[in-house]
Amino acid sequence: MFQHYIMVAFRNLVRSRSFSLINISGLAFGLACSLLIFLWARDEQSVDRFHTNNKLLYRVYLRQVYDGQAHADYHTPAPLPAELKKMIPEIEYATGFVKFFRLSLQDDIYESFSVDDKVYKLKGSRAEEDFFSMFSYKLLYGTPQTALSRPESLCMSRKMAELFFGSVEAAVGKTVRFDGRTDVTVTAVFENLPPQASDQFDYLMNWDAWVAENPFKQSWGHFGTLSFIQLRPDADPVKVEEKIKDFLKTYLKGMSDNLRLELGLQPFGDQYLYGDFENGLPAGGRILYVNLFMGVGIFILLIACINFMNLATARSVKRAKEVGVRKVVGSSRLHLIYQFIGEAMLLTLMAVLLSLALAALSLPAFNDLTAKQMAIPLREPLFYLFMLGLVLLTGFIAGSYPALFLSSLQPVKVLKGHFRFSFSAAAFRKGLVVFQFVLSMLLLISTLVVTRQTNYLQYKNLGYDRENVLYIPIEGNLITKYALFREEASKIPGIKMVDRSSQFPHAMSFRVDAVQWPGRDPNKVINFAVSSVGYDFVKLMNLDIVNGRDVDRYNRTDSVGFLVNEEAVRQMGVKDPIGMEISVFGKQGRIVGVLKDYHTNTLHQAIDPVVLDVKEFLNFGTVLVRTEKGKLKEALAGLEKVYKQMNPGHAFNFTFMDEQYGKLYKSEQVASKLSYVFTLLAIVISCLGLLGLSMFAAEQWKKEIGIRKILGATLRHIMARFSGDFVRLVLLSIVIAVPPAWLAMNQWLQNFAYRIDLAWWIFVLAGIIALVVSLLTVSTQAVKAALENPVKNLRSE
């Protein structure tokens, strides 16, 4: 019996080649798209969850509650991890980790190391002794207990060891020059970090030595490091979180009564997907896009299954007599259901095999698009179980209705030739077409909105000019020779202006309530974005001054002058700030100018109150260089030459401001590209189904079309009659899709403080695209049917 079913299934595949090809290719495209999306979502969900003690690892976050509002982030005091381990018995291990300390809180650390004439700038951090006991980073040399135990300890990756010494073995115990000023010793070598680690680094150095070099880091009032803990296996994380909630009260004195600082715990494996906060609690982040594209994957799979169901149901007229004969000779309805679902499974299996080939071929391009290193997990048994489940589930969903419908046919009516679709069967098929195009419309509208918002983020006027500006970190000899470097760099052909800043102007994430002025309410907490800049900062960034003037290097009093933005004036509640004396971190001075508001962070956030003070001599920060348009190559060559002369122990390194700004919206850019690709494929799959249905309709209506042609119908009339039903279905899907699409996109846009408007033309454009594509798909069959010789179609009459 099974062999018979297989034979009949293959015979039907060969007999209906066009329908079979459309069915298999549509399902294969849908499965390939869904497989890529699920691989991406699986990779996203695996980030930071590979550690052996993952269930015991937690990240500490800080919640600030004031004026009835709660804000939170991950930045904690440097002494916190050691003190938590000391005071809370349930904590087995604790470590600090510093990710940003040179510039803004969005800047990874890149520092220079040298061995003989080899000089490299690598990405790394500082961590405490417990680090390797907590996290499952494989040590190729050294022990977790001793890797970071000494002030001169340097733990390097395999990559770093091979760069400097050629091999891991040759690196052991060797001395490396750090920052051109200190010798450190290789005490451990670890395997290169897997791509699933959200914090990538090439080296780690001793925490205590770093804190000793930066005394202000020892203060409990300085929040700039990350804290991780590992609980004991029998510890209750809820009770531990309650214990540490008010932990900082003992160590922070003199805080405003209106400000409350609380500590919270987040599972370490959640930090990547749930990195955003709402009302002081972890609430979302990348998980939004993971859920979004998981939904897209399911949508595309549903669209492909609907294609299958529609085409199989439409073709049932061809197999009605077969069903009638089988029932007459004794076949039960259950056997017929088995046969048709089995055929659906066979088609699905062929589609799955084709989809695996398609996914494998497109995976390199998909990896480039998403900046990942994914592979189809062919060596994992669970993958085959997943694919088997996918075959069974998809085959069952796709073949269920045709099987139930065909098996219910009455043999007497079928064999007499009275078979025709009932109203309910036709309505169901039309409903599937509408549902299919509703999903496609939702994806299309979402893509248009996401793309427009992403473009808006990229090209919005931020209040400053970020083109032709590059950053050079202030380190090594540049700390003491900055003035000379600025002077020499300014003479280089192609360079317009040189200045400095303690933070990246596009990402001033360091905010502090450290600004005082006469009449300030002591109970009101205002976090200012504070940065130290040079005298030419305003001119270099092309900022607008709306009141007062710019600072002047030839005016002695301006060395203690301040610039503020309009938002700062509003927050301070003063009418005329020019000449008003303020204090920032204890530095006294007067406000000399008010800047027009400009964006100092992502457009997810409102504009911060900004205070700029003139301080050209700091041991950290970045050099800002504005180059002349079209002269970048000669400017960079000159800069590198001057830099190497003044800072020979460091590799010349620079980044472009517009590139750094673009990185702030990496998630949105990936979402936009993925939306575009998968929406296009969803429309293609939908149109494949529409093509199959129009082919079936053309075959069913060929006699009617022949009669109409004989009676004088023109090509235009026949096309209108043929396409009308399909157009009405597409129009109905557009009407149904618009309200939920508007609600979903409006909700998504609420994540941005600055966003586009949901203009009516976006929905109209999406509707026109869907209508035109569907018309083009159907019209090919309409024209073909209309041009056929009517005599040929009516010959049997």
State the residue for tokens 């003063």: 574
Per the CB < 8 A criterion, the answer to whether 221 and 251 are in contact is no
d(CA 497, CA 623): 11
Which pLDDT value is given to residue 649?
A: 77
Which pLDDT value is given to residue 392?
A: 83
CA dihedral 776, 777, 783, 788 (to 10 degrees): 170
Which pLDDT value is given to residue 234?
A: 93
Neighbours of 49 (CB within 10 A): 16
SS3 state at 548: strand
Q: What is the pLDDT of residues 276-296, one digit of tens each?
A: 888 888 888 888 888 888 888
Nearest one of 99, 93, 97 to 56, comparing CA atoms: 93
Which pLDDT value is given to residue 497?
A: 93
Which pLDDT value is given to residue 621?
A: 84
Residues 6+ apart with CB under 8 A from 662: 458, 669
Residue 461 buriedness (CB in 10 A; 0-12 / 13-18 / 19+)? exposed
Token pair for 203: 């080296």
Query: What's CA 435's distance to the chain center, in Å?
Result: 29
Q: What is the pLDDT of residues 693-741, one digit of tens each?
A: 666 666 666 666 666 666 666 666 667 666 777 788 888 988 999 999 9
d(CA 355, CA 308): 15
Neighbours of 553 (CB within 10 A): 12
Q: In the chain, list all ranges with CATH 3.30.70.
A: 48-101+214-272
Per the CB < 8 A criterion, the answer to whether 661 and 16 are in contact is no
Which pLDDT value is given to residue 103?
A: 46
Which pLDDT value is given to residue 148?
A: 94
Q: Which residues of the chain have pLDDT under 70?
A: 1-19, 100-108, 254-257, 312-333, 398, 401-402, 405-426, 429, 692-718, 720-722, 781-797
Which pLDDT value is given to residue 575?
A: 86
CATH number of 48-101+214-272: 3.30.70
Which pLDDT value is given to residue 5?
A: 59
Structure letter (DSSP) for residue 192: P
Residue 202 buriedness (CB in 10 A; 0-12 / 13-18 / 19+)? buried
Which pLDDT value is given to residue 623?
A: 92
Which pLDDT value is given to residue 105?
A: 41
d(CA 433, CA 413): 28
Which pLDDT value is given to residue 221?
A: 78
* Whether pTM exceeds 0.75: yes
